[in-house]
Structures are given as C-alpha cells and as structure tokens.
Amino acid sequence: MYLVYILMAIGLFFAFAGTVGVLRMPDAYCRMQSSTNIATLGTLGALLGAFLYAIYLKNTGMAIKILFIAVFIIVTNPVAGHAICKAAYKRGVKAEKLTCDDYGRDFPNE
Amino acid sequence: MKPSKFNSILSTFIFCYLFWIIFTWTFTSQELITGAIVSLLVAILTSRFFIHEDANYLFNPARFLNLVLYIFIFLMELWKANVDVAKRALSPSLPVNPGIVKVPTEVKSEYGLSMLANSITLTPGTITMEITEEDNKNYYYIHWIDVSEKDRTKAGEAIKGTLENWVRRIWK
C-alpha cells in the first residue's frame, strides 16, 4: 500500500518538474522536451500507482484497463510530439541559440 | 517483403480481437461472436493501411521475449533521462544547450524504425523530427536538449544508447 503512495509521489514530482520546465525553458522546442517529462514519468508514475491500487482492491478488469491507458499514452504521445515539433520548425518558429542545425542545413527551403 | 493479403488480414484480425476481448472482459458467447464479426470487418477494411511488412514473425518466441525485455530496458532509460531533464528544469542556471543533429541508424524494418523513433521521442531531452533515407541508410533528425557531441556516430551512441541493439533484435 505504501508503494502506491510512493509511485503517486514520483508522478507528482515529475509533473511538477515538467511544468516548471515548460515555464522556464527558452524556446518552443525545449519546452516540448520538458513537456514529455510530464507525459512519461508524470502520468506513468500515477497510473502505475493506480494499477497497484486496483490490484490491492482485487479489481482485475480495472487494473488491465489502467495498464492499457498507459500503453496508449506511450504509443500515441510521441506521434503528437513529433508532429508539433516539425510543424513548429516548418512554420519558422525561432529557436534560440541552436548549437548546430543539421535539419536547416539539409532542407534550407523549409 | 510484401505479405500476402490473407496474412495481413489475419494479423490485423488477431490484433483487433485481442483488444476487443481485453476491453469488454466478458466471456459470454454473444460478446465473443459480435467481437469476431466486428474485428473481421475492420481487418478486411483496414489491413492494407495497417500491415506493410510481414507481422507474423513477432509470434517467434525469442522475438517476443526480446520485446518484453525491451520494455524493462526502456523504462530504465526513461527513468535516467527523466531525472536528467527534471534536474535541468529545476536548477537555477538552466543548463540547456539545444541543437538538431543528424544521426545514422542500422535498423531496416519500418516497424523497427518507427519504434526506435518513438522511443527516442518519449525519452525527455530528445525529439525525433524527421526520418530520411539516403543510399539505403536511414537517418534521424533529432532535436537534442544538450548537444555534447557534434560528430554523428558519437551523438547517435549518446542518444540511442543500448536501445538500438534491442530494437534490432526484435525487428530485422
């Protein structure tokens, strides 16, 4: 039972760190990086906690459904992240102080 | 390798039916028959979008075991990367050094490529922007929050770590 609390706390902590990162990062792309922080360990921690809680309640159907929510978040989230990042780049959103930009070098007219 | 039509419909059908059973979680014959009909319809209509390569080789037990092991390896990597980015976000000086690097990869299969790209995007600190093919070799363009290596192969090792070898063990 304490494991549930610990997992929930881990989820909360990473959601907090991700939010702070979204507010503080210098440009759109770095903000995206920080927001994956929330989507992965933030939600996964909370969902794993909920999963163990469902097992503790001996509710198998609920436990399996929670597991599938986690699987679907993992499968769908990177697709959206990739699309947003590329759309921002094509739209010409400025990135601050890029160390190197291989994409801009290879596709200069995008 | 192009799979036969029957094979692709069958693999889509199995996938849909598995999900139907898991979601409904009742085992009366009525539910099972409805599920089979619906899954068959969906499989016939969508298999040509869904299956581009022979998906049956995932039923090979060694590959399937690798897939299960990969989940745990990936969770380890996820934890490390998450702690790293959380530290960056919370530290007062905000130590970011972003850049877009081009990284070569050895993975050939479409599923393997998208799986590795999604794994890279899911680990905080790296986002895959594009996959291109040049001279039979695939390249990723990756936005990286801390560019410590500008050399392509070294940057690739730093980003992909052990994940690529595991993906190559699952897919071709």
Q: List B99's β-bridge partners, or say none.
A: B144
Mean pLDDT, rounded, of chain B: 80
A56 within some domain? yes
Helix %, strand %, coil % for chain B, to 5?
60, 15, 25
Q: Enumerate the residues of chain B whose CB falls inside 8 A of the CB of residue A20.
A: 89-90
Instruction: Check B101 against A102: CB less than 8 A apart.
Output: yes
Q: Is the pLDDT of residue A93 over 80?
A: no
Query: Which of B11-15, B36-40, B49-53, B157-161 is modeled with the greatest confidence?
Result: B36-40
**How many Å apart are CA B109 and CA B88, to the nearest integer?**
35
The band of B108, judged by pLDDT with boundaries at 50, 70 and 90, is confident
Strands B126-134 and B99-105: unpaired
A64 within some domain? yes
Share of chain B above pLDDT 90, in %: 4
Q: In whole angstroms, how large is the CA radius of gyration of chain A?
A: 18
- Write phi, then psi, for A94 (nearest 5 degrees): -70, 135
Mark which residues 74-93 of B lie under 8 Å from A by CB. 78-79, 82, 85-86, 88-90
Instruction: Check A30 against B125: CB less than 8 A apart.
Output: no
> Is this model's pTM higher than 0.90 or not?
no
Average pLDDT over residues B150-162: 73
The band of B37, judged by pLDDT with boundaries at 50, 70 and 90, is very high
Share of chain A above pLDDT 70, in %: 85
Q: Enumerate the residues of chain A whose CB falls inside 8 A of the CB of residue B129.
A: 82, 85-86, 89, 103
Q: Which of A70-84, A85-99, B49-63, B68-82 has the lowest mean pLDDT?
A: B49-63
Residue A77's nearest CA partner among B120, B58, B113 is: B120
Q: Enumerate the residues of chain A whose CB falls inside 8 A of the CB of residue B89.
A: 17-18, 20-21, 24-25, 34, 37
Q: What is the DSSP letter of A11?
A: H
**How many Å apart are CA A57 and CA B46, to the nearest integer?**
39
The better pLDDT of the pair A1, A45 is held by A45
A47 within some domain? yes
Q: Enumerate the residues of chain B whose CB falls inside 8 A of the CB of residue A100.
A: 99-101, 147, 150
The band of B133, judged by pLDDT with boundaries at 50, 70 and 90, is confident
Residue B100's nearest CA partner among A24, A35, A110 is: A110
A110 within some domain? no
Question: In terms of residue numbers, what domain contains A72?
Answer: 2-105
Give the closest of B22, B25, B100 to A102, CB-based: B100
Number of domains making up chain A: 1
A32 within some domain? yes
A18 within some domain? yes
Judge whether B157 and B53 are in contact, CB under 8 Å.
no
Query: Quick one: pLDDT at residue A104?
Result: 67
A98 within some domain? yes
